[in-house]
Amino acid sequence: MSTVLWIIFIVVALLAGIALGFFIARKYMMNYLKKNPPINEQMLRTLMMQMGQKPSQKKIKQMMRSMNNQMDNK
């Protein structure tokens, strides 16, 4: 009977470790992306110019605000 208990304990510990690791990694990545956003204003300006649009500062600020709000909501 003790062997069955050990197996159950190992499986529960493994599942708890996987869940805890997932949440820690998710929190770390969210903080990393908040501090180091993948797109900045210069990259956005270049992207818009490549698509054939003339980017105004107002439009760039609006798009950056929209992306930041979307990141905060997740």
How remote is the C-alpha of 65 from its chain's centroid? 17
The pLDDT of residue 74: 62
Return the structure tokens found at 52. 């054939």
The dihedral sign for the CA sequence 39, 41, 45, 51: positive
pTM of this structure: 0.56
Q: Give the integer Cα–Cα distance in Å for 43 and 27.
A: 26
Q: Where are the domains of the chain?
A: 1-36, 38-73
Q: Give the integer Cα–Cα distance in Å for 25 and 35.
A: 15
Tens of pLDDT along 18-58? 999 999 999 999 899 888 878 888 888 998 899 998 888 99
